[in-house]
Amino acid sequence: MAIPHSTRRKLVLILGILPLLFSCSGSASVDKRNPSAENTEPLSGASLYLQHCAICHGEDGKLGASGAKDLTMSKLDSNQVVQMIKKGKNAMPPMKELLETEENIGLVVSHLMKFRK
Ligand code: HEC
């Protein structure tokens, strides 16, 4: 015996709705995370530090990889730190090109000053 016509219509309806549901939830999650947001987000000292400095100095400034100094123990004033970042010293490479602007250098300096006790 064939499935009654009304039941078949319901089945078709359900099957028709399913992909709609999936596509809805899919686009909703895309909306939440605007892909262009990442580019417009202002750079923070913390993110610049993590990107360019943490590989040697560690997230908290204490790592000391490749002979890097412990930044929590540093006695340099902020001008000396700026010079350090721009010119480098021994195993520390100059970072001026990477950080691109004075403003970014300033952001990184104020971030690492927070490591000190
Ligand atoms: C390739 C590893 C490396 C990277 C990346 C690096 N450093 Fe260094 N850093 C060093 C080394 C090595 C020293 C010690 C230099 C010396 O005095 O011989 C140092 C020293 C320093 C000092 C001086 C500390 C003191 O009291 O003498 C500061 C400040 C500093 N780094 C900040 C930074 C910042 C900010 C960044 C990111 C923009 C950075 N470093 C990235 C290796 C690195």
Higher pLDDT among residues 34 and 51, named by residue: 51
Question: CA distances (Å), 14 to each of 2, 6, 20, 49, 108, in order?
Answer: 19, 13, 10, 52, 56
Of 78, 84, 97, best ligand 1 pocket probe by most atoms within 8 Å of the beta carbon:
84
Name the residue of 47, 85, 92, 105 whose CB sits within 8 Å of the most ligand 1 atoms, as the mutation to test its pocket. 92
In a domain, 8, yes or no: no
pLDDT confidence of residue 85: 98
Rounded to two decimals, what is the model's pTM?
0.74
- The CB of 50 under 6 Å from ligand 1? The reply is no
pLDDT of residue 27: 46
The structure tokens listed for 53 are 């400095």
Position 53 confidence tier, pLDDT thresholds 50, 70, 90: very high
* Residue 1 CA, ligand 1 centroid: distance in Å: 81
Residue 3 lies in a domain: no
Residue 21 falls inside a structural domain: no
Please tell me the distance from the alpha carbon of residue 64 to that of residue 58, in angstroms, as a whole number. 7
Under the banding of pLDDT at 50, 70 and 90, the label for residue 29 is: very low
**Does residue 31 belong to any structural domain of this protein?**
no
In this structure, how many other beta carbons lie within 10 angstroms of the beta carbon of residue 88? 13
Taking the CA atoms of the chain, what radius of gyration do you get in angstroms? 27
| Amino acid 24: pLDDT | 52
Residue 69 lies in a domain: yes
pLDDT at 23: 57
3-state secondary structure of 54: helix
What is the domain extent for residue 79? Answer: 43-113
Provide the pLDDT confidence category of residue 4 given band limits of 50, 70 and 90.
confident
Average pLDDT over residues 48-58: 97
22 domain-assigned: no
| Any atom of ligand 1 within 6 Å of the Cβ of 62 | no
The domain tally of the chain equals: 1
Predicted confidence (pLDDT) at residue 80 exceeds the cutoff of 50: yes
